[in-house]
């Protein structure tokens, strides 16, 4: 029997262990969840005696996760230790190192979390990257700006951040001066790269690339700071735009110490000077990326990854190439107390509309690129008509959703 510990951290809507963890392989699974998610997982595990839930009361500030893993290792051998969120990549890599468990170790894990180190690796191997520097203070940031000829704007963000949280485009010295001290700590500053922003999502199992796709953001991932919604459209696999990005993505992945089984989420920029690397993570993309891919192919990146980590062979038979325009919209909150949220959308191109917001909740704009009142999955006949439909829907939500 192989004991497999999975560090979850998200709700059952994202992570469905009863669906994705294969039976009949002789595995015993221990699925670690936040306390407030425990009941929703428990309700869905009927009949799966091979899956045991582990409840963590204080996920972020305590050593409950580490204590569980350590105590478990005293009496049972851990065959696999899997983390599913970006935030736990380094944390769990140290457990593998200490307890000699196969998988990603700290020296490799840091390259998927430390944005300065990953950019340095890419630059050293001839891939275009914005000039950057790690900083811990206002004056370190100012020194970098002086060294790069004060060519505003610049970008300041956490060195190991996610979801565009606490990321700022600095357009002048006065904006730099007015930025709170905490945002300079454990951060990087980089020159601003203009152009379109893309995400590349992929799956490797048994060391082989099984899936990779390219999607283009309608707005930049920081658009939520101006009240715009996060939206993305997948590009047809055989288009020139997609082929260029796929080639770039494969090259970038080859430079990284990828585990045998992993999901990758890579972001890039493209302008008149070519393609620029932004960052890479070994996790599934946020928002509706998983669901949109699943809707197109009946193929779930997270599910296939968990199957591979459990020892199952890859056996998807269909062709995994995009040939139709499909995308999603995440409706960003505005300011105020929510008083009205529509329950239907006036469009024939909608695949799924999900509302997360509750009437009476107060909002102060979005705080990350994936915070949303609702999400919409949709399709169209052409890329141009899909983008037009997404922008029309965004405008419709701005006019229809009510606050006070």
Q: What is the CATH number of the domain that holds 343?
A: 3.30.470.20
pLDDT at 62 over 90: yes
300 found inside a domain: yes
Judged by average pLDDT, the poorest of 16-25, 79-88, 155-164 is: 155-164
Shared-domain flag, residues 257 and 383 = yes
Query: Which residue, 93, 2, 21, 5, is CA-closest to 302?
Result: 21
Give the per-residue pLDDT at 346. 85
Which tokens belong to 269? 């920029």
Q: What is the mean pLDDT of residues 131-160?
A: 96
Shared-domain flag, residues 253 and 283 = yes
Domain residue limits at 90: 2-111
Shared-domain flag, residues 91 and 34 = yes
Q: How far apart are CA 10 and CA 178, in angstroms?
A: 35
CA atoms within 13 A on the CB side of 402: 6
Q: How far apart are CA 248 and CA 34, in angstroms?
A: 37
Shared-domain flag, residues 204 and 317 = yes
Which CATH number goes with the domain that contains 72? 3.40.50.20
pLDDT at 1 over 80: no
Shared-domain flag, residues 185 and 233 = no
Shared-domain flag, residues 154 and 41 = no
Contact 305, 263 (CB under 8 A): yes
With a CB cutoff of 8 Å and minimum separation 6, the contacts of 252 are 122, 127, 266, 277, 280
Q: What is the mean pLDDT of residues 169-185?
A: 96
Shared-domain flag, residues 101 and 142 = no
For 348-376, what is each residue's pLDDT tens digit? 889 999 999 999 999 999 988 899 999 99
pTM: 0.95
Shared-domain flag, residues 58 and 136 = no
Confidence of residue 46 (pLDDT cuts 50, 70, 90): confident
Give the per-residue pLDDT at 92. 97
């Amino acid at each position: 029997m192989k004991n497999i510990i999975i560090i979850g951290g998200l709700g059952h809507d994202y992570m469905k262990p009863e669906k994705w963890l294969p039976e009949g392989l002789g595995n015993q699974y221990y699925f670690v969840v936040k306390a407030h998610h425990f009941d929703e997982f428990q309700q869905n595990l009927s009949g799966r005696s091979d899956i045991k839930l582990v409840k963590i009361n204080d996920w972020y500030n305590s050593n409950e996760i580490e204590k569980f893993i350590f105590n478990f290792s005293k009496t049972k051998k851990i065959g696999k230790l899997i983390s599913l969120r970006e935030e736990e990549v380094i944390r769990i890599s140290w457990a593998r190192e200490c307890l000699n468990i196969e998988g990603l170790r700290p020296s490799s894990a840091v390259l998927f979390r430390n944005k300065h180190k990953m950019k340095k690796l890419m630059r050293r191997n001839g891939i275009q990257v914005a000039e950057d520097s790690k900083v811990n203070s206002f004056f370190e940031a100012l020194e970098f700006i002086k060294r790069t000829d004060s060519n505003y704007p610049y970008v300041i963000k956490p060195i190991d951040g996610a979801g565009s949280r606490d990321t700022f485009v600095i357009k002048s010295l006065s904006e730099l001066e007015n930025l709170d001290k905490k945002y300079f700590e454990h951060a990087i500053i980089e020159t601003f790269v203009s152009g379109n922003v893309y995400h590349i999502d992929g799956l490797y199992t048994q060391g082989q690339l099984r899936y990779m796709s390219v999607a283009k953001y309608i707005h930049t991932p920081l658009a939520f700071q101006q009240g715009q919604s996060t939206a993305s459209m997948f590009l047809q696999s055989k288009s020139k735009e997609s082929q260029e990005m796929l080639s770039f993505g494969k090259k970038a992945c080859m430079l990284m110490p990828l585990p045998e089984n992993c999901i990758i989420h890579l972001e890039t920029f493209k302008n008149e000077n070519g393609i620029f690397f932004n960052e890479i993570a070994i996790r599934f993309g946020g928002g509706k990326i998983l669901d949109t891919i699943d809707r197109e192919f009946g193929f779930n990146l997270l599910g296939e990854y968990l199957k591979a980590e459990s020892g199952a062979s890859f056996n998807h038979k269909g062709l995994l190439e995009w040939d139709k325009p499909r995308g999603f919209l995440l409706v960003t909150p505005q300011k105020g107390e929510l008083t009205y949220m529509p329950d239907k959308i006036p469009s024939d191109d909608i695949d799924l509309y999900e509302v997360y917001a509750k009437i009476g909740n107060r909002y102060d704009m979005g705080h990350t690129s994936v915070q949303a009142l609702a999400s919409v999955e949709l399709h169209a006949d052409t890329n141009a008509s899909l983008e037009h439909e997404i922008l029309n829907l965004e405008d419709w939500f701005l006019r229809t959703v009510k606050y006070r």
